[in-house]
Amino acid sequence: LEERIQSYLKNLKEYGIKNDIPNVTEKVGRFLNLMIRIKEPRNILEIGCANGYSAIWMAEAVSKAKVGVRIHAIDHSKPTFEEAKKNLSEIGLDKFVKFYFGDAIDMIENMDSKQMFDFVFVDGEKKSYLDFWNVIQPHLTAHAVVVFDNMVAFPEKTKEFSETIKSVTGFDQILLPTDEDDGILLLIKN
Ligand SMILES: C[S@@+](CC[C@H](N)C(=O)[O-])C[C@H]1O[C@@H](n2cnc3c(N)ncnc32)[C@H](O)[C@@H]1O
């Protein structure tokens, strides 16, 4: 990563810690960045972009792609949503991101049925993971990659989803420990 982007991310992470913005950890950000460079997706969906920390990690990967790639980032909290737009623009990566303000469940349910995603990062309200999972289904391409953050840290909130996903068919999956007491769920559609 360019030094300029590394130091921007470092400062944004520190800002998030000070201001109680639950950004992904640096490790998860780096994981998303590398996954996108490996997978080379065309259409990325992020549920819960907050102030854009994870979106910057993803957009940096996208900026290296040889084809046009778009990150569709959704959030329903106005202040952080506005900050995300400002932050992505400040670092010069806003052209890779299309921001949507509103509830992700409503928004995805009402999305054009032809809008498909080959990479989805889910980091919205933990209690809604099962709802997010249900609404993204019709929009996943073959071999789509789906990543759910915080699959260990909030066992009560993610319980319903965790139990459902264990017996899902048509996907291969792995729960990866990331930082202390947390992990991500990585799924690949067959
Ligand atoms: C954990 S934070 C996201 C952090 C962000 N991915 C990052 O690493 O910078 C969760 C965000 O999801 C948003 N959110 C939660 N449920 C949502 C929903 N149903 N629709 C849209 N946004 C949602 C919240 O407003 C919050 O900003």
Instruction: Tell me the average confidence (pLDDT) per consecutive run of 10 residues in the chain, 190 residues long.
Output: 96 97 97 97 98 98 92 97 98 97 98 97 98 98 98 96 97 94 97
User: What does the pLDDT read at residue 66?
Assistant: 85
Per-position b or e across 56-70, b if 16+ CB within 10 A of its CB: bbbbbbbeeeeeebb
Give 149's DSSP letter. Answer: S
Amino acid at 76: H
Confirm if 152 and 176 have CB atoms less than 8 A apart: no
Task: Please list the residues that pair with 173 across neighbouring strands.
Answer: 187
Three-class SS of 119-141:
EEEECCCHHHHHHHHHHHHHHEE
- CB-based pocket (< 6 A), ligand 1: 22-24, 48-50, 53-54, 74-77, 80, 103-105, 123-125, 128
Q: How far is the CA of 187 from the centre of ligand 1 (A)?
A: 20
Q: Among all chains, which residue has been given the structure tokens 């909130």? A: 157
Residues comprising the chain, all counted? 190
For the whole model, what pTM was predicted? 0.98
Q: Among all chains, which residue has been given the structure tokens 């569709």? A: 72
Closest ligand 1 atom, CA of 107?
Answer: 20
